[in-house]
């Protein structure tokens, strides 16, 4: 039942739903076992049908692929494995014809050690001016054999590597917050900012609608590069942040400059461009500083992604975002999955105790409906709409994530969420690979991927795919959804419920026992079977509650438990 057409928001990005395409694993058109831009083009009608507003493409630039393209050797090219610039142009044109926006990934914190700048810095010897574009520093200890400080790399080991000078002598060290093949750029050298200004314009001139900015709280480091007070804490979790290497005040000027570039293009043609930052900072308040009106348009709010499957954790996280981010006039950008995280179906199965509960798919479906009902923008990671679980048993020998190589541990390894998508049929490559080579997909697909293939998903109205498609359709047509505010309702324990606008109620039962539904009548959309009057465990639903006839059964929450946002 589609009731009314939502008034177009003034800025399309404030409540857009963007689909993250991990190009390498989306669709392979050449038969080499690796996804490519031509494959993305083939998949565009599928994404249009799903109902997203646009796509974000993971990096496709020339790269030695030490971190699957997050080690960029040329910021204005296309790696031959993914296609070429002509193919990119065709992709943008096709997407625009379908009304889909195109965002590309940009990686300004570091480049590849194969980038000409870094090569020049190494080859030029100790006095090379090219070294000022990176962080070179003398080692400590009598012969400089110890790193300049105690910082740890995000992917394991020290954040410094020592170079050998062209004359064979041991030289200084250079900083890399990820792998040694990803030297950090020195944003205090103006040449770096000038370079990226030109890169932005290059792609904007080719028609992109915006950029997903990698490590957007990085870039500047503390000018003195002092020791970290707690290097082990910096390494304990992939999300912890060394406060000397991240979130420095100077980074905000970069986002102001980049916003100004976007505004310049908007002034020419009236079309909004979008900057979305990968911002991992400890609090929602710090997060909000990145989305001030003259900085980034959006920043992924990762706190929802890292919240445990727990009603209080979700309520608290959402309330904080609404108060500290939306409360300042910015939009909140929700995300549950991406190419760096264990997929929700698997993650939620192991919560809260770590024991696999079998409830992963039901909870992942419920979380999806919740996310699509929240005020603001949302990102969906490829395969999420198919309910793909993480592939947790890839053998060591096929793992490609540098985290595995650098730490020797499978703990944070990301290959399991990057296995090439299943499209059709009953056996690998499930239609992922076509074309002359017929090579095997770059990561092996398990047999059970057949259950999740898009052909099955489209044919089964109870699939994840239909849930996402229906949710997206309603979101587009109901004026209550998208931008705006929410009002919490007082609920039984284990249930979270809120009202959007004049009567769209969303409720999620985090428990395993059924609870009374907050609204009488049949839901508009539910993540599982949901008879009138009942909200089963691990289920979310949306209702329209007409205040005249079907007032919510749960009263509005009184502060402070449920702040009105
Ligand atoms: C970001 C990317 C991740 C990459 C890292 C280094 O966190 O999402 O995939 O490995 O940056 O560029």
Q: Of 457, 431, 444, 463, whose CA–CA distance to 26 is shortest? A: 431
| Ligand 1 midpoint to CA 107 (Å) | 9
Q: Which of 215, 240, 415 to mutate to test the pocket of ligand 1 (most atoms within 8 A of CB)?
A: 215
What's the average model confidence in pLDDT over 243-256?
A: 96
125: left (phi over 0), alpha (psi -120 to 50) or beta: left
Residue nearest to atom 6 of ligand 1 (CA): 70
Cβ–Cβ < 8 Å for 519, 46:
no
pLDDT at 551: 58
pLDDT bracket for residue 548 (50, 70, 90): low
Q: Which of 75, 214, 339 to mutate to test the pocket of ligand 1 (most atoms within 8 A of CB)?
A: 214
pLDDT bracket for residue 1 (50, 70, 90): very low
The burial of 8, by beta-carbon neighbours within 10 Å (0-12 exposed, 13-18 middle, 19 or more buried), is given as exposed
Which has more confidence, 426 or 549?
A: 426
pLDDT digits (tens, 9 = 90+) for 127-158: 999 999 999 999 999 999 999 999 999 999 99
Tokens of 553: 């059964």
Angle made by CA atoms 506, 508, 510, in degrees to the nearest 5: 170
Residue nearest to atom 9 of ligand 1 (CA): 340
pLDDT at 5: 35
pLDDT at 411: 87
Q: Would the CB of 178 count as within 6 Å of ligand 1? A: yes
Is the pLDDT confidence value at 295 over 70? yes
Residue nearest to atom 7 of ligand 1 (CA): 215
pLDDT bracket for residue 357 (50, 70, 90): confident
| Ligand 1 midpoint to CA 331 (Å) | 23
DSSP 493: T
Q: Of 428, 398, 427, 402, whose CA–CA distance to 413 is shortest? A: 402
- C-alpha span between 446 and 156 (Å, rounded): 29
Do β-strands 377-381 and 17-21 pair in parallel, antiparallel, or remain unpaired? Answer: parallel
Tokens of 284: 């929602």
Catalytic annotation present for 264: yes
What's the average model confidence in pLDDT over 19-38?
A: 98
Establish how many alpha carbons lie within 13 A of residue 360's alpha carbon, considering only the half-sphere containing its beta carbon. 20
Q: Which atom of ligand 1 is nearest to the CA of 178?
A: 6
Q: Of 360, 358, 335, 339, whose CA–CA distance to 348 is shortest? A: 360
pLDDT at 329: 87
| Ligand 1 midpoint to CA 386 (Å) | 24
Q: What is the mean pLDDT of the chain?
A: 93
Catalytic: which of 87, 181, 214, 340?
214
| Ligand 1 midpoint to CA 2 (Å) | 40
Is the bond preceding residue 352 a cis peptide, omega within 30 degrees? yes
Q: Would the CB of 71 count as within 6 Å of ligand 1? A: no
pLDDT digits (tens, 9 = 90+) for 318-336: 999 999 999 888 999 999 9
pLDDT at 564: 39
Tell me how far apart the terminal alpha carbons of the chain are, to the nearest angstrom: 28
- C-alpha span between 292 and 417 (Å, rounded): 32
Q: Of 179, 240, 215, 245, whose CA–CA distance to 406 is shortest? A: 179
pLDDT digits (tens, 9 = 90+) for 189-235: 999 999 999 999 999 999 999 999 999 999 999 999 999 988 877 66
Catalytic: which of 194, 264, 460, 546?
264
| Ligand 1 midpoint to CA 432 (Å) | 24
Q: Would the CB of 384 count as within 6 Å of ligand 1? A: no
Q: Of 252, 244, 223, whose CA–CA distance to 159 is shortest? A: 244
pLDDT bracket for residue 550 (50, 70, 90): low
pLDDT at 2: 33
pLDDT at 354: 72
Full set of structural domains in the chain with CATH: 1-53+336-477 (3.20.20.80), 116-175 (3.90.400.10), 214-331 (no CATH), 485-565 (2.60.40.1180)
Of 285-289, 311-315, 404-408, the range with the lowest mean pLDDT is: 404-408
pLDDT at 346: 96
Q: How many CB atoms lie within 10 A of CB 169?
A: 10
Establish how many alpha carbons lie within 13 A of residue 368's alpha carbon, considering only the half-sphere containing its beta carbon. 32
Of 244-253, 353-362, 412-421, the range with the lowest mean pLDDT is: 353-362
Is the pLDDT confidence value at 86 over 90? yes
Q: 193 by DSSP, 3-state: which?
A: helix
pLDDT digits (tens, 9 = 90+) for 463-504: 999 999 999 999 999 999 999 999 999 999 999 999 999 899
Residue nearest to atom 2 of ligand 1 (CA): 214
Cβ–Cβ < 8 Å for 15, 64:
no
Residues counted in the chain? 565
DSSP 149: S
Is the pLDDT confidence value at 316 over 70? yes
pLDDT at 239: 55
What's the average model confidence in pLDDT over 80-88?
A: 98
pLDDT digits (tens, 9 = 90+) for 399-423: 999 999 999 998 889 999 999 999 9
Q: Which of 58, 63, 67, 402 to mutate to test the pocket of ligand 1 (most atoms within 8 A of CB)?
A: 67
What's the average model confidence in pLDDT over 19-47?
A: 98
Helices and strands: H and E segment counts in the chain: 14, 18
Of 295-299, 434-438, 451-455, the range with the lowest mean pLDDT is: 434-438
- C-alpha span between 229 and 269 (Å, rounded): 49
What is the secondary structure of 472-539 as a DSSP string? HHHHHH-TTSSSS-EEEB---TTEEEEEETTTEEEEEE-SSS-EE-SSSS--SEESS---TTEE-TTE
Q: Which atom of ligand 1 is nearest to the CA of 414?
A: 9
pLDDT at 10: 84
| Ligand 1 midpoint to CA 278 (Å) | 9
| Ligand 1 midpoint to CA 377 (Å) | 21
pLDDT at 327: 85
pLDDT bracket for residue 251 (50, 70, 90): very high
Q: Would the CB of 67 count as within 6 Å of ligand 1? A: yes
């Amino acid at each position: 039942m589609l009731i009314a057409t939502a008034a177009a928001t003034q800025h399309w990005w404030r409540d857009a739903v963007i689909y993250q395409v991990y190009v390498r694993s989306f669709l392979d058109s050449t038969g080499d076992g690796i996804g490519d831009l031509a494959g993305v083009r083939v998949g565009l009608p599928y994404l249009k049908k799903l109902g997203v507003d646009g796509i974000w493409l993971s990096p496709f630039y020339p790269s030695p692929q030490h971190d699957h393209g997050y080690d960029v050797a040329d910021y204005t090219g296309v790696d031959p494995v993914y296609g070429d610039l002509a193919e990119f142009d065709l992709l943008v044109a096709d997407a625009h014809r379908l009304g889909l926006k195109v965002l590309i990934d940009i990686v300004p914190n570091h480049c590849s050690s194969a980038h000409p700048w870094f090569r020049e810095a190494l080859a030029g010897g100790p006095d090379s001016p090219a070294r000022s574009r990176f962080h070179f520093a003398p080692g400590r200890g009598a012969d400089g054999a110890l790193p300049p400080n105690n910082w740890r790399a995000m992917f394991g080991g020290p954040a410094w590597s020592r170079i050998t000078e062209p004359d064979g002598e041991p030289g200084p060290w250079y900083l890399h917050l990820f792998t040694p093949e990803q030297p950090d750029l020195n944003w205090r050298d103006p040449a770096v900012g000038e370079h990226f200004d030109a890169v932005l314009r290059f792609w904007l001139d080719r028609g992109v609608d915006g950029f997903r900015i990698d490590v957007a709280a990085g870039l500047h480091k503390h000018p003195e590069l002092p020791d970290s007070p707690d290097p082990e804490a910096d390494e304990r979790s992939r999300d912890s942040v060394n406060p000397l290497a991240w979130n420095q005040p100077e980074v905000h000027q970069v986002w102001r400059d980049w916003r100004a570039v976007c505004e310049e293009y908007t002034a020419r043609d009236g079309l909004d461009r979008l900057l979305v930052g990968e911002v991992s900072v400890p609090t929602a308040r710090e997060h909000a500083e990145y989305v001030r009106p003259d900085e980034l348009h959006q920043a992924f709010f990762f706190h929802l992604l890292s919240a445990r499957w727990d009603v209080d954790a979700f309520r608290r996280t959402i309330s904080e975002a609404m108060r500290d981010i939306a409360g300042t006039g910015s939009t909140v950008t929700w995300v549950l999955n991406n190419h760096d995280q264990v997929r929700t179906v698997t993650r939620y199965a192991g919560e809260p105790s770590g024991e696999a509960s079998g409830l992963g798919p039901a909870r992942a479906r419920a979380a999806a409906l919740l996310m699509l009902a929240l005020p603001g923008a949302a990102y969906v990671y490829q395969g999420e709409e198919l309910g793909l679980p993480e592939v947790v048993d890839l053998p060591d020998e096929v793992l490609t994530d540098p985290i595995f190589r650098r730490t020797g541990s499978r703990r944070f390894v990301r290959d399991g969420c990057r296995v090439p998508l299943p499209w059709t049929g009953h056996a690998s490559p499930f239609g992922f690979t076509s074309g002359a080579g017929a090579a095997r997909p770059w990561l092996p697909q398990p047999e059970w991927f057949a259950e999740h293939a898009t052909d099955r998903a489209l044919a089964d109205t109870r699939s994840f795919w239909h849930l996402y498609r229906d949710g997206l359709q309603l979101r587009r047509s109901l004026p209550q959804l998208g931008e705006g505010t929410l009002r919490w309702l007082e609920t039984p324990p284990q249930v979270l419920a809120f009202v959007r606008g004049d009567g769209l109620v969303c409720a999620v039962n985090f428990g395993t026992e059924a609870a009374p539904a907050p609204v009488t009548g049949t839901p508009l959309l539910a993540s599982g079977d949901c008879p009138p009057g009942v909200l089963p465990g691990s289920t979310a639903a949306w209702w329209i509650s007409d205040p005249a006839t079907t007032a919510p059964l749960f009263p509005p929450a009184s502060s402070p438990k449920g702040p009105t946002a």
